[in-house]
Amino acid sequence: MTSAWILVCLIPLGCGIGTLLCRTARSLGWVLAVGTTATSVVATWVILRTPVATVLGGPDALGRLLLGIVDLVGVLSTVESLHYWRDELRSSNADLVMLGRGIRRVRIYFFWQQAFLASLLTAAASGNLGLSWVAIELTTITSAVLVGSSGTPRAIEAAWKYVVLCSVGLALALATVILLYALGGAGGLGALNWTSLTAAAPHFPTGPIKLAYLFALVGFGTKAGLAPLHAWLPDAHSEAPAPVSALLSGVLLAVVLCTLVRVADVTAAATGAAFPDHLLLGAGILSIMVATPFLILQSDLKRLLAYSSIEQIGVMAVGFGLHVPLAALGAILQLVVHALTKSGLFFTAGRIVHDAGTQRLLRLRSLGVGTPTSGAALLFGVLTLGGLPPFGMFFPELAIIRATFAQNTVLGLGFLFLLALTFAGLFYHAGGTALGRSARTGLHRVPVLDIAVLALPAALTIVVGLWAPAILARGLEAASALALGGGAR
Amino acid sequence: MPGGVLDALADALVVLSLALLVVRPAAWSIGLLAAQAAAVAALAVVVSHGPGAWVAVAVIGITKVVGIPLVLIWVTRRTQTADAVDWAPWAWILGAVIVLLVRITLPTFSAGLKADHAVLLGTALTVLLLGLAGMVTGRLLLGQVIHLVAIENGLYCVGLALTGGLPAALELGAAVDLLLVVFVLAWLSHHVHRLHLPLHVDELQQLRG
Amino acid sequence: MTWLFALGLLSYVLSAAFGAYADNLSAALSLLAEALFVTMAVAGVRGLHLNVRIPFGPPGFSLHWVSTPLGALFLILVSVLGAAATIYAIAYAKHLPTSKRRTVLVFAPLFLASMTLVCFAANMASFLVVWEAMSLTSYALVIVDREEPGVLRSGYVYLLMTHIGALCLLAAFTLLSNHTGSMAFAVWAEKAPTLPSGIRSAVFLLVLLGFGSKAALVPLHVWLPRAHPVAPSHISGLMSGVMLKVAIYGMVLMWFVVLGPGPLWWGLVVMALGILSSVLGVLYALAEHDLKRLLAFHSVENIGIITIGLGVALMGWHAHLPLVSIVALAAALYHTVNHALFKTTLFLDAGSIQHAGAGRNLDALGGLWRRMPWTSTSTLVAAAAIAGLPPLNGFVSEWLTYESLVRLGAGGGLVLALSAATGVLALALTGGLATACFVKVSGVGLLGRPRSDRAAEAHEVSGFMTGPALALAGFCVILGLAPGLIAPILAHIAGLTLHGIGTLGPTNAVLVSLPWRGAHLDPASAALLAALIGAVVSLALGASRARRSATEIRAPWACGGELTAAHQYSATAYAKPFRPIFRLVYRPVRSVHVESLIHPFFRVRVSYEGGTTDVLSRWIYRPAITGIVALSRQGRKLQSGSLRLYLALMLATLLLLLAFVH
């Protein structure tokens, strides 16, 4: 079974089709439980096995890392989706007819959510540029439906902008795929495997490959949320249902960024590392700079989190763009910790917004966050994103900061200044909301599973980012080595 | 390969794209889009040989020359925008800048490619960028879909120019993706219509900051 | 030693864990931990050292804990004062609402544990982790009363300032580690003196900013008068008495142990900031009527005095004046110890007064001397000590600072002489004003008649609260009367810290004074002498008054009205003469509002509002914040909602890249 990883991508799709057939909430729950369990089991098996090259390029170390993260966040998102819909249906005061309609909406939601997850898993695991491109394009379509699913004018507007901007972006990225395919000798789909591309890259003429990289930077950069191409991101993140925002922000951006980084590595093999990496570094710094004003002056909780994602993606881009092992390791760690933290934050934000009935920060401050669990989770997430020890993001940021200083002291100081500003904004708004008014205790009895959805990723950030036990560290190092261009250079 | 035919087709494509950028009644744009797709299909016949070429022509014919324009016409009927004019006087200038820029920078980026390929690459880049410019200058939601398809046509040219046909899986994936995008956009514009939202992009500005 | 260390930490952690459920057990565990760490510090003298390295974090990082003599000094401070605060909290926390008490009792041991660990940190990662843990735990303690208006804002300012400081430290450490190829402090100490001077100076400045923001040096002190008043009192005591000292520890560690002797301007900058802090700190304190804010500003002042000592030590090291350096550093360390003692005492007492129901507005206190005798006694002793009066400990350390300044001035060179003279003047001004300020505190706050009903109903607090304050006040007396107990130890530590400076011979040399007359006078004798003279003078005055006191005592004339407590001299009135004198600093504002009926003569109510303007925040912070917000407002135009703008950005990016990047 050399292509077991394809199974990982197909199971959620089957699961999604299965949900469409469900008539009752109970059967829906069972289908989802079986589907996610099966996906996770197969994913674990794929991750632990040594990779085998296939026509479509099985997942390498980086791919397996991403596969693991996507699967984990996917499972959490599915569980949180159940919570989300329970709240939604309960609050819509459903009589029996409405409940029937509600179940239909739920089924459709889960179909698209699972389809989105399937495309994400494919994009994460694929070791082939062509397949990655198709999968990433599919993520746009599946998630756009989810973004617009609430049917409000704001949601429709967000979905429209999302589809238009990302389709254009990915159309540009397709140019990259075509150019690289042509340069690689146009020898069938296998020629687009990362391994074959990296091996052939030193013989590529530099002109066309630079063109390919520029298109990748703009194309994949749009989808990854790099400034100034990020405009769709806050809109889509703020209007999507919270469990979908978590997938969008936590893993989708990271998966696309990794694809971009791999293209940068192929380019680097042909042109030398300076050309792609300086551009990546610049895009990263620009992203942090662009996100800063929106973090300082912000009125919407979910948009705040979205801009924080832009900033974090910027930091990762800086980490990859510095092109030293330390920074790459930092960026990979950051990616993992950010995926876990941000998904937890979006889940929390979803609950807060549901409890308060608004996502305006000003109103939230006076209304309070609903439950103590939400307040604690929000605070934890924000402190983690700030890179404060003893939270998970400290070591990743430390590694990247060290590398920036090694590159250039002024760059390092500027980077730190931006980080301070972003933390100031993020903590002012989110910290103020979390602490602003003492939570109404005793109003809700939060079920164990609902706490676990927040506690598990939180605990994992500490394990991965702060403690980083040796077995994990090896996997992370292997992944970061690949992000640096692997053994090709 | 007959070089003259290739050049003529390439120039025709650029002219069609420029026209698409400037001509703004929606019904005309759809016609121009179909014409542009037809030109791409003709290019496919010229460039590639063997049975593969005819498959490609069939795919383009079904999806781009017939399928997508039909969907678009359905949408214009539904939203009653077939006669809407979307005037952008400075689109000319943007178009000229793009054509010039591609002419100037092409030698750098096509260094190491065959002469034919370089010409086609230039054409493809121009078509692609003109499509993007069309999206920037256009105010109608429908216009944006049209130009998005135009960008895809440009991409198809890139593919033809350099590879003589992409791997079937990728080709199929790209075509299905494009179709899905158009369907999603059509679904969304249905919602826009349902919600009585403005059909101009500029008035779709609730989300800011 | 490792076991002792682990056991101590475990006790703190358990103490925090039990904090939510069993108050007394939690306190006992905290005390156990403090006792263990004091034992460790003392064992260090016997040559028992801790050296633990734990692999932690991603590959290449580890946590490394080592005990050093300098660290041991601060460890004792943390532990002893921590113990005092722990005992105090047993009674103090009982009356807090349950949720707040839990917060305090959970985070206080963690706060102490993180400060303890800072004294052991021996590499970059471990230092930064516990440093930020210290900031976060103290932040949690500052915002205990977060429902009150303004508290969250104070907490935000505090967290932000401290985070910016930590980022400066991160930058400094990163520069050092990148240029020495190691993250261990020991390696830095070896290699840092040979680094390029630009790097060294950058590190110096970043360290100054980083630790300066935590130590509350002017103008980085803005968080302190906001954060200290809102925290529970024993926490304010710990923050002011201990946490600021931990920042001093950091400065000493980085400047003296790691960087080594530097150019003259380092010392000048440090001394200038010290002078600015001490003078401005005491001036602001003088204008303040809120007891805890007043104490907070005095912390700024005292940190300034300590920093002057550090500046002199830096200059002396630069000018190859070993004796000056050692005396100055020993003086700074001595003042560090002293300030920890009397400032914690004062905060504990302020907490007791507040707890007794009298509030913390000086103008509403009075008459506490009779109602709260023990609290008043410790307040008075600590106030005398902080004002630098003999025979208390504040006098000794200020004496030593003066001495180092005088020696520096005699060391040669115009710059040194001028700066020493300025330092002496500033120190004298500070001392005088501090005395004035604490006359105000004890005169208005403790003596006289109660100025409010609440003050009249105040009662003495429990022994758990007076005990620690009295014990610390006792230490103030002991360290004042017998400086020989610890001065040689401090001089020894100073000598070790200023590595490579050479030996001094007998360590008692610190106490040799008055070099220009060949006379020898140590602070203890000077203190006794001064006390003696003071006693003689006051006895003589008392005797002369006794002779004249045959006169009859009558109620004073009050313009025909009745005398009330409000006719007493108030804190505002006391500070009045200083306001016009120091107009430049205070920028006083006042407004009198008269409400009248029919004619201005028929007054219904006259209200008076007066205050001072915070010049620094107006000149530095307000413009910076306004600028950042204005820039952000401009930047936000990028997300205007226009899809065409977004597409245009994409097209422009692509065109620019195509045109310019080859």
Which residues does chain A have within 8 Å of residue C56's beta carbon, measured at their own beta carbons? 466-468
Nearest to C143 among A419, A421, A435 (CB): A435
What's the pLDDT score for residue A98? 47
Which residues does chain B have within 8 Å of residue C632's beta carbon, measured at their own beta carbons? none
Per-residue pLDDT tens over the stretch C631-640: 999 999 999 8
Whether C518 has a pLDDT exceeding 50, the answer reads: no
Q: B208 lies in a domain?
A: no
What's the pLDDT score for residue C523? 63
Banded pLDDT at C65 (limits 50, 70, 90): very high
Q: B26 lies in a domain?
A: yes
Which residues does chain B have within 8 Å of residue C655's beta carbon, measured at their own beta carbons? 97-98, 101, 129
Q: Which domain holds residue C457?
A: 266-544
What's the pLDDT score for residue C507? 43
At which of C488, C515, C544 does a domain end? Answer: C544
Nearest to B181 among A134, A154, A167 (CB): A167
Nearest to B136 among C636, C647, C658 (CB): C647
Per-residue pLDDT tens over the stretch C445-475: 888 888 888 888 888 899 999 999 999 999 9
Per-residue pLDDT tens over the stretch A290-330: 999 999 999 999 999 999 999 999 999 999 999 898 899 99
Q: Is A475 on the interface with C (CB under 8 A)?
A: no
Closest CA to A194 of A150, A120, A130, A278: A130
Same domain, C353 and C453: yes
**CA-nearest residue of chain A to C127?**
A389
- Can you tell me the mean pLDDT for C28-51? 89
Which residues does chain A have within 8 Å of residue C128's beta carbon, measured at their own beta carbons? 389, 394, 398
Residue C25, Cβ neighbours under 10 Å: how many?
14
What's the pLDDT score for residue A470? 76
Which residues does chain B have within 8 Å of residue C642's beta carbon, measured at their own beta carbons? 201-202, 205
Which residues, in sequence order, are bridge partners of residue C603? C596
Q: How far is CA A400 from CA A63, A386, A407, A416, C133, in A?
A: 22, 14, 11, 11, 21
Considering only B37-41, B182-186, C21-25, which range has the smallest mean pLDDT?
B182-186
Give the single-character DSSP code of C501: S
Chain-chain contact of A181 with B162 (C-beta, under 8 angstroms): yes
Per-residue pLDDT tens over the stretch B172-209: 788 788 878 878 887 887 787 777 766 677 777 888 87
Whether A124 has a pLDDT exceeding 50, the answer reads: yes
Q: Which residues are CB-contacts of A459 (< 8 A; sequence separation ≥ 6)?
A: none
Whether C571 has a pLDDT exceeding 90, the answer reads: no
Nearest to B205 among C642, C648, C659 (CB): C642
Q: B73 lies in a domain?
A: yes
What's the pLDDT score for residue B179? 78
Q: Is A420 on the interface with C (CB under 8 A)?
A: yes
State how many domains chain C has.
2
Residues of A numbered 244-273 whose beta carbons fall under 8 angstroms of chain C's beta carbons: which are they?
none
To the nearest whole Å, the CA of C628 is away from the closest chain B CA by 16
Chain-chain contact of A207 with B173 (C-beta, under 8 angstroms): no
Residue C262, Cβ neighbours under 10 Å: how many?
18
Q: Which residues are CB-contacts of A127 (< 8 A; sequence separation ≥ 6)?
A: A51, A53, A56, A57, A58, A59, A60, A63, A193, A194, A195
Considering only A239-243, A343-347, A361-365, C154-158, which range has the smallest mean pLDDT?
A361-365
How many contacts does B have with C, using Cβ atoms within 8 A? 47
To the nearest whole Å, the CA of B5 is away from the closest chain A CA by 23
Whether C100 has a pLDDT exceeding 80, the answer reads: yes
Same domain, C630 and C534: no
What's the pLDDT score for residue B198? 66
Averaged pLDDT of chain C:
88
Whether A115 has a pLDDT exceeding 90, the answer reads: yes
What's the pLDDT score for residue C205? 97
What's the pLDDT score for residue C336? 96
Which residues, in sequence order, are bridge partners of residue C589? C611
Nearest to A234 among C628, C639, C645 (CB): C639
- 3-class secondary structure per residue, C154-191: HHHHHHHHHHHHHHHHHHHHHHHHHHHCCCEHHHHHHH
Q: C422 lies in a domain?
A: yes
To the nearest whole Å, the CA of C375 is away from the closest chain B CA by 56
Nearest to B155 among A131, A178, A239 (CB): A178
Whether C483 has a pLDDT exceeding 90, the answer reads: no
Residue A34, Cβ neighbours under 10 Å: how many?
13
At which of C544, C563, C588 does a domain end? Answer: C544
- Taking any CB pair shorter than 8 Å as contact, residues of chain C touching chain B are 636, 639-644, 647-648, 650-651, 654-655, 658-659, 662
Per-residue pLDDT tens over the stretch A149-186: 888 889 988 998 999 999 999 999 999 998 898 888 77
What's the pLDDT score for residue C648? 93
Which residues, in sequence order, are bridge partners of residue C63? C54
Same domain, C404 and C485: yes
What's the pLDDT score for residue C94? 86
Specify whether the CB–CB gap between C510 and C400 falls below 8 A.
Answer: yes
Closest CA to A240 of A28, A426, A371, A77: A77
- Can you tell me the mean pLDDT for B157-175? 74
Closest CA to B152 of B28, B85, B68, B70: B68
> How far from chain centre, in Å, is Cα B132?
9
Whether C519 has a pLDDT exceeding 50, the answer reads: no
Q: The tokens 């109103």 sit on which residue? A: A363
Q: How far is CA C226 from CA A102, A206, B36, C246, in A?
A: 52, 60, 69, 20
Specify whether the CB–CB gap between C306 and C335 falls below 8 A.
Answer: yes
- Can you tell me the mean pLDDT for A360-371? 81
Specify whether the CB–CB gap between A184 and A255 falls below 8 A.
Answer: no
Specify whether the CB–CB gap between C115 and C242 falls below 8 A.
Answer: yes
Which residues does chain A have within 8 Å of residue B148's beta carbon, measured at their own beta carbons? 164, 167-168, 171
Banded pLDDT at C78 (limits 50, 70, 90): very high
Q: Is B106 on the interface with C (CB under 8 A)?
A: no
Whether A402 has a pLDDT exceeding 80, the answer reads: yes
Per-residue pLDDT tens over the stretch C341-361: 999 999 999 999 998 887 888
ipTM exceeding cut-off 0.85 for this assembly: yes
Strand (E) or helix (H) holding C592: strand C589-596
Nearest to C642 among B101, B135, B202 (CB): B202
Which residues does chain B have within 8 Å of residue C654's beta carbon, measured at their own beta carbons? 129, 132
Which residues does chain C have within 8 Å of residue B136's beta carbon, measured at their own beta carbons? 644, 647-648, 651
Q: C595 lies in a domain?
A: no
Chain-chain contact of A130 with B128 (C-beta, under 8 angstroms): no
Whether A32 has a pLDDT exceeding 70, the answer reads: yes
Chain-chain contact of C651 with B108 (C-beta, under 8 angstroms): no
- Give the best residue of C651, C653, C656, C657 to mutate against chain B (max B CB count within 10 A): C651
Which residues does chain A have within 8 Å of residue C159's beta carbon, measured at their own beta carbons? 427, 431
Residues of C numbered 160-179 whose beta carbons fall under 8 angstroms of chain A's beta carbons: which are they?
160, 163-164, 166-168, 170-171, 174-175, 177-178
Chain B touching partners, 3 or more CB pairs below 8 A: A, C
Averaged pLDDT of chain B:
80
- Residue C308 has which token pair? 């002057």
Q: Is B5 on the interface with A (CB under 8 A)?
A: no
Whether A439 has a pLDDT exceeding 60, the answer reads: no
What's the pLDDT score for residue A61? 86
Chain-chain contact of A157 with B155 (C-beta, under 8 angstroms): no
To the nearest whole Å, the CA of B50 is away from the closest chain C CA by 35
Q: Which residues are CB-contacts of A357 (< 8 A; sequence separation ≥ 6)?
A: none
Same domain, C348 and C431: yes
Chain-chain contact of B155 with A181 (C-beta, under 8 angstroms): no
At which of C487, C512, C544 does a domain end? Answer: C544
Whether C508 has a pLDDT exceeding 50, the answer reads: no
What's the pLDDT score for residue C458? 86
More confident residue, C440 or A485: C440
Q: C627 lies in a domain?
A: yes
To the nearest whole Å, the CA of C620 is away from the closest chain B CA by 28
Q: C299 lies in a domain?
A: yes
Per-residue pLDDT tens over the stretch B1-26: 456 787 888 888 889 988 888 876 77
Banded pLDDT at C427 (limits 50, 70, 90): very high
Chain-chain contact of B152 with A171 (C-beta, under 8 angstroms): yes
More confident residue, A477 or C387: C387
Whether B164 has a pLDDT exceeding 70, the answer reads: no
Q: Hey, what amino acid is at C344?
A: T
Q: C276 lies in a domain?
A: yes
What's the pLDDT score for residue A466? 81
Whether A464 has a pLDDT exceeding 90, the answer reads: no
Specify whether the CB–CB gap between C352 and C464 falls below 8 A.
Answer: no
Chain-chain contact of A294 with C636 (C-beta, under 8 angstroms): yes
More confident residue, A458 or B27: A458
Which residues does chain A have within 8 Å of residue C132's beta carbon, measured at their own beta carbons? 388-390, 394
Q: Is A386 on the interface with C (CB under 8 A)?
A: yes
Considering only A225-229, C26-30, C123-127, C148-152, which range has the smallest mean pLDDT?
C148-152
What's the pLDDT score for residue A93? 56
Closest CA to A318 of A229, A226, A422: A226
Whether C119 has a pLDDT exceeding 90, the answer reads: yes
State how many domains chain B has.
1
Strand (E) or helix (H) holding A142: helix A129-147
Strand (E) or helix (H) holding C52: strand C51-55
Phi-psi region of C553 (alpha: psi -120 to 50; beta: other; left: phi over 0): beta
Q: Which domain holds residue B105?
A: 3-203
Chain-chain contact of C156 with A210 (C-beta, under 8 angstroms): no
Dist. CA A401–CA A327, nearest whole Å: 8
- Can you tell me the mean pLDDT for B103-129? 87
Specify whether the CB–CB gap between A313 and A226 falls below 8 A.
Answer: yes
- Phi, psi angle pair for C195, to nearest 5°: -70, 160
Q: C456 lies in a domain?
A: yes
More confident residue, A446 or C268: C268
Q: Which residues are CB-contacts of C314 (< 8 A; sequence separation ≥ 6)?
A: C255, C261, C262, C266, C267, C270, C271, C325
Nearest to B101 among C639, C650, C658 (CB): C658
